[in-house]
Structures are given as C-alpha cells and as structure tokens.
Amino acid sequence: MTASREKLVLVGNGMAGIGTVEQILKLGGAYEITVIGSEPHPNYNRIMLSYVLEGSKTTEDIILNNWNWYEDNGITLHTGTTATRIDTASRQIYTDSGLVIPYDKVIIATGSNSFILPVPGSDKEGVVGFRDIADCEAMLEAARQYSKAAVIGGGLLGLEAAKGLVNLGMDVTVVHLMEDLMERQLDRSASSMLQAELERQGVKFAMGMQTVELTGEQRVSGLRFSDGSELAADFVVMAVGIKPNVQLARDSGLEVNRGIVVNDYLQTSAEGVYSVGECTEHRGVCYGLVAPLFEQGMVLAKHLCAVDTKPYEGSVVSTKLKISGVDVFSAGEFIDTPEHTVISAKDEWKRTYKKILLRNNIIVGAVLFGDVTESANLQKLVKQGAKMTDDIYAEVMGTGCCGNGEAKKGLIVESMADEEIVCGCNGVTKKAIVDAVTENGFTTVEEIKACTGATRSCGGCKPVVEQILQFVLGDSFQQSSKQGICTCTSLSRDEIVAEIHAKGLKTSKEVMHVLGWAQEEGCSKCRPAINYYLGMTYPDTYEDEKESRFVNERMGANIQKDGTYTVIPRMYGGVTTPEDLKKIADVSLKYDVKVVKVTGGQRLDLIGVKKEDLPKVWEELDMPSGYGYAKSLRTVKTCVGSQFCRFGTQDSMGMGALMERKYERLDFPAKFKMAVNGCPRNCAESCTKDIGIVGNDGGWEVFIGGNGGIKPRIADSFCKVKTDEELIEVCSAVMQYYRETGNYLERTSEWVERMGLANIQTVILNDESNRKELAARIDFALAQVSDPWKKMLNDDSTRSALFETAKV
C-alpha cells in the first residue's frame, strides 16, 4: 500500500514560488502539490513585461509554464484565487473563493505590489502601476486612446515602462525625484549616459521634481509639482517602488517587518510555513531582483527534499537593465568613497563605461554601461570577494593579451561554481546545463533551452550557455549550422527585416538585444547592414547611426593607403560649370591636393586631402558630395545626347542630371551606378550599370543588373517606355524594390540573378498599382533626406528648368 504524500501548498503562482516547485520536482520531492494564484494566468516571466509592452513579445511568449505543465506534473492549480488566511493550528488555508485547502507544508510567495504615491488624485482613472499583465494591458489600451504619458519614477521599472510607451507612440516624460536615474544601482556617470541614451530614443525627463498632486476631474489630466509647475498627461504610470505583499502573513499571525521574516532555511515564525521571493525578509533585507529569489528557492527546495544544503546567507545584488538597446549592469557597491580604490574607463564615442570598486584590494562592486560582456564574470568576482590581480585586471578591463580567446572562455566557465546561476530569468544553474549535456547528450543551445529554460526569455545568457557547451563538448562542439548575415546571428536578411517590422525595433542595439546577437555590440559586417535595414524601414523617423557606418562614410571621403583622403564633389550627369571648376582649382591649391583626376564616372577626384582639412575643404568647395564612398547613388554617367550629338535622339545630359539630383543621398544595399545614353551607340556604357538607360526615337529602353567591376555582367533589358514620366516611375520602382529586398552589400548584378529577371518584371511591370506604390515609397524616403533640389523635383512648373542646368 502506497503511503500518502505530504501536501505542499504554494501560495503565489509567480517566478519565485514556481521556481522553487521546479527545483523540488527535479530533486524528486514526493509531495502532493497545490498552487494558488491570484491572477488568471499560468506562471509567466514578470521581468519580460517590458517586452510585451514595447511589442516585441506577446503575453503567450512570456508564459514559462503552460496549463499542460501543471497537469503533466500532477499539480492542482487554482487561478483567479487569493489566499486570505493560513490557520497554522489546523494547517488549513482559506481563500476568497470559499476554498479551504489543507496542508502539511506551505510556501508563501505572494511577491510585491506597486507602491502608489499617497498624493491627491492618485485614485483617478488613468493611473496604474507596472507589476503584472493587467497593468501591461491597461498601458497598451491607453496608448491606443491617449497621446501624453508621465511615468513617475526613474528606477528600473519606470524606465522599462517609459521605453515601452514610447515604442507604442506616446509622448512620454519620466518624472524623477532625484537628479540621477537608477540612483540605487548606478553612479552619476553611468546614470547620465543612460539618460542621454534614452533621450536619444525619445524619452523625455523631468529630473529633481516632486509630484504633489495629480490633476483632472474623473480622469487624470496632469501632474503638479512642489515648485508649482505642471506637466500635462492623460495617462500616469506609478513606478516609484514596490512593497512586499505581506497581508496574508500578517492576517495569519506570522512575524512581519517590512517583509515576512524568515531564517536561513526560509522558514517563517510558524512551523511548516516558508516564504520566498519579494515578500520575504531575510536578515533584514527584502530583495526585488530575480537572481536572489532563485537562490532562495534552491535552498528551500533542497531543505524540503531533505537534501544537504548550505543555508541561505543573502545575495550579492546585481542589476541588468532590460530595455531594448540599452545595456546597463551593476553589482555590489557602486558609489565610490575615499576608502575605495577605483578602476574606471569611459569611452564617450562608443558610449561605454566601466568601473570596478576595490576595498583593501578586494573587488566589492562594479558598474558597466554600453558593453556588458564582462557582467557575469564581474558578478562572480564581487560575490566571491576576489582579490584584484594583474590577470583579473587584464581580463575584465580588456587590456591583456590572452592569446587564445577560446581558452580564456574555457577558464571562466571552468571557474564557475556548479550552483552559479547562468540564466537569471529562469534560475538555471551551470550544473543544470552541464547535466543536460552529459546525461541527455544535448549539443545545441536550442536543446538546452527546451530542457532547462536557459535563454528562453531575454536571451542574455546565450553566450555563456554556448561557452558551457563548448567547454563540456570540447572538439565535438559545433556552432549552429545555420549561417546568418554574419557570425553574430543565425538570422538571414529577410528574417531580420521581418523581425524589425513585427517587433517595431528602432535601433541597432534593439535589434541585437531582442534578436539575441551572440556579440552584443555586433561586428563590422552586421552593424552597417542593420543600420541600413532600419533606415530603409523607417525613412522618416530613423536617426542614422554614424558609428555603424564604414570609415569612408563617416568621414565623407575615401581613405587612401597613405592615410590621406580623396574628396569627390558631385557633378550632375558629368556636367560642371567654370565657376565650380575654379572652386575646385582654388581648393586644390590651398590644401595641397596631390592629384586631380578625371574619373570613369565623369567627375573630378581631389586626391591627397589631409583628414584635419576635410571639413574646411567641403566648406570652401560649397558643392554636394559625390558620395564616392557610400552605399548610395554614386554617379549618373551621360553622353552629350541630343543637345549636341548629331546621332542623339534623347536629352541624355538633362535626364542624367535629373536622375542624379532626384536620387542622390538615398541609401541602397550597395553602391549604385547609372548611365543615360542619348542613342543606342552606348557612349556612356549603360550596359555595365545598375540601371542603364538608352534613348531611341520612340522613347527610352531600361537595362538593369549591369556590373563592370570584379564580377562583370552585361545588364538585362528590362523594358521600354515612351515618356520621361514613365521612365522615372519605372526606375523608382526598380530602385525601391532593390532597396527592400536586396541583401546588404549585394550589387544589383547579384540581386537580379538571385531574384530572377522575370520575377522583377512581374512585380514592377505587370502590376501597375504595385509599381506606383514602390515609386511612392521611394519618394517618401527621398522626402526625408536633405535635398536642395527637392522643390524642383516635386514641382512640374520648374522641372523643365532642371534639364536646363545640364546645358553648358
């Protein structure tokens, strides 16, 4: 006869409580388990709510344990039910739904509640906290109806809420009592960098402001501050802090201070009653971050399963900000005092900051901004109270020559303790990952994710998981076989663009963070590509990231092998004026230009300009750049055409100038060249250009996909048109379709062969509405770039004058 199992009841269906239950199940605990949850959902990842808010994940995406998991593990789940009292004498739990549930042991994991400022008006409509799915849904609904939001509180939750609301299209101001953001986790330098980064992403700030009243009638309409000033807002998020949810414990007669008081084995003042998570107070401390809650849960699970375990002695607190595109980390002490030795490095160009605090040569704290690749290592060193050495200094500050980078990774993984948490979102330890590999034969991150849950949430631990895999498997370890646009990701161009659209990703950092880049900063191959994809996707709102561009594009000139630069002024259709030639000559003499060369694209290269002279050269030339360095329209080569040539049938110089002025400054996947011939004699070599145009008696013939470079290719005949207007519309449609479907750095010669000429013709020539939509989209993108000729291009009355500018 099988002995009856002890009844274990978990009050609270959140991450801390269910994390403890998961550990109990793994340890083979023989309990009959019941879970009571106030929310109508199965267990979900609360720290991923900001991703739901910003639109990169759905509610379903953040569910950690679905309904089937409870059933499969024999767990009775009561959702939408709140425990109101624990009778510790009779060992029964009473609920608001009338259920009375007996227990042998009970775990309280009721978490915390949002702290709502006790100011007049805080009970008005449109005022919410940010703690659960209901709050998130209220914020999503508000963004659909209202435009101005205020977030009170510049801590972790407040900033997550603010960025999410900005992504939803709201005008958002963060109101913070202190002068520094996240002042409990960051020093002033990191805080100021964080504020600058978030301002760049659209968040506004009102720092040092104390809210004394929320104004409005039934619904909030604004905030009034202690200095008498006001801020209009039709939606307010309170994110000034959290308070442990101890009502159940207090009503049940348990010892309560700020939180539910527990000993080192998480036992409360009542026998058989335990507590974990944000509602818990251990040695006078309540933790509001995830990693300590899992550490508590592991100790409690082993205690309940009679497995030897060290007592819980507290946690070293660390914070990693989970706002897409913003990387911030802190651990341990972060404000330096005279008793600290400070090691720091700040790079304002790359927007990175690193600070390590020592006390008597012991590592006691760290702050990182922008580059958090050393966060796991620093957290371990702070937790261990490690002594600073020359080797550690070189390792964490990036100054040493480690020789074999893989060996360094192996040493870091080898030094990790078995119980060290790798995945903070899901409480997965190094041992759990190693066991998954050695016991189950797993060899990929996807298999580890399915088995342990590591990487299934924010993805920040993926590099460490891969390092553990490589360490355990040795030479048999293989990276994911799927190759993406670079080694940083397995995602293809089309997948990345689709994710940008679907999740509303707005910056390179967001793309890399949300889509799980292996290298958080990306590489020289993917950074320019993502910058292009974002600019193409959001032509009217995207702020070009100059740091993601190649050096020539950043400098506005082509660097030469001796370190000097080549400046190329624009000459529309290869035509210039005596005045412009004089300016080129004057500048060339003044700045000691070594060579002035006539190029194959009918322009003049000023070769040998010193780097420090570039701004002055461009200023004194007062001519547009020829973009000889850019992934954009380089030149439109022309012959003299009907203006002068006895064989010319069309005005090639006029059309070439029009094309060049219309499409200049617009980014493409790769460099783009055009040519316009006035007759089929092809003096401008249209057959080797990305778009070649040939005039004839009946109009124009368009060729696409030509290349005269390393991989020469004769252009394909695309179509014939009769009018200038048709020609411009077709060329616009071809260019935009290439912009939207071309791989970064893929020339049209490769693009035509990959896409297929017939397919491109079907999309553009056989579907008039689609052609016009493509042309409209490129015109919209062109309207966003600085173009002194925009008025002329868009005004039919002045358009004929544009052709005249090409005539000498």
pLDDT surpassing 70 at residue 322: no
Q: How far apart are CA 319 and CA 494, in angstroms?
A: 34
- Give the pLDDT band (50/70/90) at residue 806: very low
> Mean of the pLDDT values across residues 787-800?
42
pLDDT surpassing 60 at residue 795: no
Return the SS3 of 453.
coil
Separation of first and last alpha carbons in the chain: 106
Summarised one tens digit per residue, pLDDT across range 13-52 is 999 999 999 999 989 888 999 999 999 989 998 888 887 8
Instruction: Indicate the helix (H) or strand (E) that contains 32.
Output: strand 31-36
Within 578-711, where are the H helices?
578-590, 614-621, 652-663
Q: Which of 244, 211, 238, 227 is nearest to 111 (CA)?
A: 244
pTM over 0.85: no
User: How distant, in Å, are the alpha carbons of 300, 377, 419, 574 from that of 416?
Assistant: 22, 9, 8, 64
Residue that the structure tokens 């896409």 belong to: 755
> Mean of the pLDDT values across residues 661-688?
90
Per-residue pLDDT at 302? 94
pLDDT surpassing 70 at residue 249: yes
Among 155-169, 407-421, 608-622, the minimum mean pLDDT is found in 407-421
6-112+244-304 with 116-240: one CATH topology? yes
Q: Which of 673, 602, 667 is nearest to 630 (CA)?
A: 667
Per-residue pLDDT at 708? 85
Q: Which of 431, 408, 409 is nearest to 420 (CA)?
A: 431
Per-residue pLDDT at 681? 86
Where does 6-112+244-304 sit in CATH, by number? 3.50.50.60
Q: For a pLDDT cut of 90, what percent of the chain falls above it?
A: 44
Which CATH architecture is the domain 631-808 placed in?
Answer: 2-Layer Sandwich (3.30)
Per-residue pLDDT at 378? 85
Binding residues: 639, 645, 679, 683
For the sheet containing 127-128, what is the strand order? 127-128, 235-238, 148-152, 171-176, 204-207
Q: How far apart are CA 551 and CA 546, in angstroms?
A: 9
CATH superfamily of 116-240: FAD/NAD(P)-binding domain (3.50.50.60)
Q: Which of 362, 367, 361 is nearest to 379 (CA)?
A: 367
Among 85-89, 339-343, 426-430, the minimum mean pLDDT is found in 426-430
Q: How far apart are CA 449 and CA 428, in angstroms?
A: 10
Domain layout of the chain by residue ranges: 6-112+244-304, 116-240, 493-549, 550-629, 631-808
**Per-position DSSP letters for 364-432, written without gaps between them:** EEEEEES--TTHHHHHHHHHHTPBP-HHHHHHHHT-S--S-HHHHHHHHHHHS-TT-EEETTTTEEHHH
Q: How far apart are CA 559 and CA 75, in angstroms?
A: 67
pLDDT surpassing 90 at residue 474: no
Among 156-160, 226-230, 397-401, the minimum mean pLDDT is found in 397-401
- What's the whole-number average pLDDT of the chain? 86
pLDDT surpassing 80 at residue 297: yes
- Give the pLDDT band (50/70/90) at residue 675: very high
- Give the pLDDT band (50/70/90) at residue 423: confident
Q: Are 794 and 776 in contact (CB under 8 A)?
A: no
- Token digits for 717? 């005949």
Summarised one tens digit per residue, pLDDT across range 67-85 is 888 988 999 999 999 999 9
Q: How far apart are CA 205 and CA 173, in angstroms?
A: 5
Within 453-507, where are the H helices?
462-473, 493-503
Q: How far apart are CA 377 and CA 438, in angstroms?
A: 24
> Mean of the pLDDT values across residues 346-370?
90
pLDDT surpassing 80 at residue 578: yes
Summarised one tens digit per residue, pLDDT across range 724-762 is 999 999 999 999 999 999 998 899 999 999 999 999 999
Binding residues for [4Fe-4S] cluster: 639, 645, 679, 683
Per-residue pLDDT at 695? 93
> Mean of the pLDDT values across residues 531-546?
88
- Token digits for 443? 């060899």
Summarised one tens digit per residue, pLDDT across range 609-624 is 888 888 888 888 888 8
Per-residue pLDDT at 726? 94
Q: How far apart are CA 349 and CA 795, in angstroms?
A: 42
CATH (one of 3.90.480.10, 3.40.50.700, 1.10.1060.10, 3.40.50.410) for 550-629: 3.90.480.10
Q: For a pLDDT cut of 70, what percent of the chain falls above it?
A: 90
pLDDT surpassing 50 at residue 791: no
Binding residues for siroheme: 683
Residues in the chain: 808
- Give the pLDDT band (50/70/90) at residue 477: low
pLDDT surpassing 90 at residue 674: yes
Q: How far apart are CA 572 and CA 650, in angstroms?
A: 17
> Mean of the pLDDT values across residues 693-718?
89
Per-residue pLDDT at 465? 84
- Give the pLDDT band (50/70/90) at residue 400: low
pLDDT surpassing 70 at residue 410: no
